[in-house]
């Protein structure tokens, strides 16, 4: 069950990132004047989808705390690197962002470094 908590943390984190990116794209560019910028962000916080992303972050934190009751941090935290991979894939699928060989190589290096660093 502990790994289910970690996986839930990762999936909820990725969900939140994708939803916030989607809603920000829908809202447009952040205005320059401070008052308009505050209003812009305030309205984003009131967006039901953004609220769901924030709720997902809270739930992810709760799942992470549950996982931390049973797993060593140095063992569980490297699994969070899966979020790098999932966000890369989701950004390509949902936002048509380029998934270049360099991005794939960079993500693979991050994951490989975390796997190697978590050994022993």
44-59 pLDDT tens trace: 999 999 999 999 999 9
Q: Whole-prediction pTM value?
A: 0.88
Please state the domain count of the chain. 1
What's the whole-number average pLDDT of the chain? 93
How is 59-72 classified by DSSP, letter by letter? HHHHHHHHHHTTS-
* CA–CA dist 31, 93 (Å, integer): 28
pLDDT recorded at residue 2: 85
User: Roughly what angle, to the nearest 10 degrees, separates helices 101-117 and 82-95?
Assistant: 160
- Residue 28 Ramachandran class (φ > 0 left, ψ -120 to 50 alpha, else beta): left
Percentages helix, strand, coil for the chain (3-state, rounded to 5) are: 85, 0, 15
Residue 96 belongs to domain spanning: 2-117
Residues 6+ apart with CB under 8 A from 33: none
Mean pLDDT, range 55-74, rounded to an integer: 95
Model confidence at 15, pLDDT cuts 50, 70, 90, reads very high
């Amino acid at each position: 069950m502990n790994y289910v908590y970690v996986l839930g943390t990762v999936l909820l984190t990725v969900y939140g990132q994708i939803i916030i990116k989607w809603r920000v794209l829908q809202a447009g560019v952040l205005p320059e004047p401070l008052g308009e910028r505050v209003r812009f962000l305030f309205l984003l916080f009131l967006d039901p989808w953004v609220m769901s992303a924030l709720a997902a972050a809270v739930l992810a934190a709760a799942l992470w705390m549950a996982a931390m009751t049973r797993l060593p941090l140095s063992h569980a935290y490297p699994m969070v690197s899966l979020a790098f991979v999932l966000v890369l894939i989701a950004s390509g699928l949902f936002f048509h962002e380029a998934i270049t060989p360099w991005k794939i190589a960079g993500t693979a290096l991050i994951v490989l470094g975390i796997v190697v660093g978590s050994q022993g």
